[in-house]
């Protein structure tokens, strides 16, 4: 017999009980777990988490009848964000341990994904056993259909699989409607390639992080919310100006020159958007986190440096290719790239200097405050 009190723990990592059945976790106790299973069963009878919960209750009854001191509970994560969900699981488990006084646990899961949380559980409570529930389904073709249907109904899988397939089909149809079937394959492959780079390079996570920062700055009443919005508007203006440059200087040229012409019209607006947004971050750090001010003070200087250098480089590269009606000749363009590079380096060095003296000043203030 297991010494101490044992927790029978059902793990719902993607929070189906909360997302579908509106049950807040953690759920502790036999009656509460049965209520959660029934609510989830009524919301989605095909969800495999139902079986995992009933298995946990069944195991609880079995060990209880043997005379063991046991408790049963359900903890859930987050349906859309796995990292936040795992953090929630850790906090919920700590709460359950504090409430029940258990000394070990038996983990019940409905699949391999939930077992990713085992290290989190083991960091807070010894795991004496793992019970994985495998639901019997109709074999062969109907079983495969069921699995595919469940995957496509999952929002995480749907975004990963259906978005690129749907985008490819849409672009293919648009190409034929425009009577340009010759560009259909190139357009589709290019769009899917951009999407894969977007996911593979983590740009989607960067965008999510930006939206989180925007939401946080709004809810906490920070100045950066206004500067973020201003930065977004300036980026939109930059995109419009870049597209207008393409229309003005359009010619039969290569893809790289199209990109350079777009950047020529947009890069200064992009740099201005970055500078405005970073000024908001600096102001927020000045008022709320002055210890980190030296780390962010350099942002507008570096962004301005990159913008100046990129602008001069675009002018020089475009002028050297004799684009019709471009306002700069190669001689003038050399001056622009020289002064742009010089101005960019000066701006960067100025930022480093400001950061250095600010760091020394803040260190002196901190030392003075501790003495």
Strand partners, 74: 10, 27
Q: Is the separation of the CB atoms in 107 and 139 below 8 Å?
A: no
DSSP state of 143: H
- What pLDDT is stored for residue 73 in this prediction? 93
Distances (CA, A) of 337 to 128, 153, 192, 266: 67, 53, 35, 17
Backbone angles phi, psi at 254, to 5 degrees: -80, 170
Provide the pLDDT confidence category of residue 141 given band limits of 50, 70 and 90: very low
- The strands making up 104-109's β-sheet, listed across from edge to edge, are 27-28, 70-76, 6-12, 104-109, 127-132
Q: In the predicted model, is pLDDT for residue 326 greater than 60?
A: yes
Give residues with Cβ within 8 angstroms of 118, minimum separation 6: 107, 127, 130
- What pLDDT is stored for residue 149 in this prediction? 62
The full DSSP string for 277-303 is HHHHHHHHHHHH-GGGHHHHTTHHHHH
Q: How far apart are CA 4 and CA 131, in angstroms?
A: 20
- What pLDDT is stored for residue 371 in this prediction? 60
Nearest to 106 by CA among 71, 150, 146, 158: 71
Give the pairing of strands 6-12 and 70-76.
parallel
Provide the pLDDT confidence category of residue 154 given band limits of 50, 70 and 90: low
Provide the pLDDT confidence category of residue 153 given band limits of 50, 70 and 90: low
Q: In the predicted model, is pLDDT for residue 71 greater than 90?
A: yes
DSSP state of 3: S
- What pLDDT is stored for residue 148 in this prediction? 64
Q: Is the separation of the CB atoms in 101 and 5 below 8 Å?
A: yes
**What pLDDT digit, counting tens, does each position of 267-286 carry?**
999 999 999 989 988 998 88
List the structure tokens of 312.
């001069």
Q: How far apart are CA 222 and CA 229, in angstroms?
A: 12
Q: How far apart are CA 273 and CA 267, in angstroms?
A: 10
Q: How far apart are CA 143 and CA 163, in angstroms?
A: 25
Average confidence score pLDDT of the chain: 81
**What pLDDT digit, counting tens, does each position of 224-238 carry?**
888 889 988 999 999
Provide the pLDDT confidence category of residue 150 given band limits of 50, 70 and 90: low
**Cα–Cα–Cα angle for 365, 366, 371, rounded to 5 degrees:** 100
User: Within 10 Å of residue 52's Cβ, how many Cβ atoms?
Assistant: 25
Q: Which of 153 and 54 is assigned the larger pLDDT?
A: 54
Question: Among residues of the chain, what percentage have pLDDT more than 70?
Answer: 86
What value does the mean pLDDT take over residues 46-55?
Answer: 84
Q: In the predicted model, is pLDDT for residue 138 greater than 80?
A: no
């Amino acid at each position: 017999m297991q010494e101490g009190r044992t927790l029978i723990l059902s793990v719902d990592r993607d929070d189906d009980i909360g997302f579908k059945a509106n049950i807040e976790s953690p759920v502790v106790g036999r009656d509460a777990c049965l209520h959660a299973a029934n609510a989830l069963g009524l919301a989605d009878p095909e969800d495999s988490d139902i079986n995992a919960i009933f298995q946990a209750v069944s195991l609880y009854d079995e060990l209880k009848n043997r005379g063991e001191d046991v408790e049963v509970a359900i903890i859930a994560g987050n349906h859309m964000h796995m990292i936040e969900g795992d953090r929630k699981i850790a906090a919920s488990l700590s709460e359950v341990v504090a409430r029940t006084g258990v000394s070990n646990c038996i983990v019940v899961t409905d699949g391999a994904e939930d077992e990713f949380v085992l290290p989190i559980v083991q960091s807070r409570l010894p795991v004496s056993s793992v019970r994985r529930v495998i639901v019997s389904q109709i074999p062969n073709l109907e079983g495969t259909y069921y699995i595919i249907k469940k995957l496509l109904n999952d929002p995480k899988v749907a975004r990963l699989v259906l978005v690129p397939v749907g985008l490819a089909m849409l672009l293919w149809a648009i190409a034929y409607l425009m009577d340009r079937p010759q560009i259909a394959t190139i357009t589709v492959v290019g769009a899917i390639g951009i999407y894969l780079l977007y996911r593979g390079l983590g740009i989607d996570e960067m965008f999510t992080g930006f939206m989180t920062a925007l939401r946080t700055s709004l809810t906490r009443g920070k100045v950066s919310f206004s500067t973020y919005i201003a930065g977004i508007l300036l980026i939109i203006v930059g995109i419009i100006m870049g597209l207008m440059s393409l229309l003005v200087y359009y010619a039969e040229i290569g893809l790289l020159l199209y990109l350079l012409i777009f950047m020529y019209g947009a890069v200064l607006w992009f740099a201005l958007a970055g500078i405005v947004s970073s000024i908001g971050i600096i102001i927020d750090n000045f008022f709320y986190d002055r210890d980190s001010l030296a780390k962010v003070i350099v942002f507008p200087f570096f962004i301005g440096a990159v913008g100046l250098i990129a602008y001069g480089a675009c002018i020089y590269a475009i002028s050297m290719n004799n684009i019709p009606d471009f306002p700069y000749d190669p001689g003038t363009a050399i001056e622009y790239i020289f002064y742009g590079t010089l101005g960019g380096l000066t701006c960067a060095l100025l930022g480093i200097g400001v950061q250095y003296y600010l760091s020394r000043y803040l260190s002196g203030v901190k030392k003075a405050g501790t003495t």
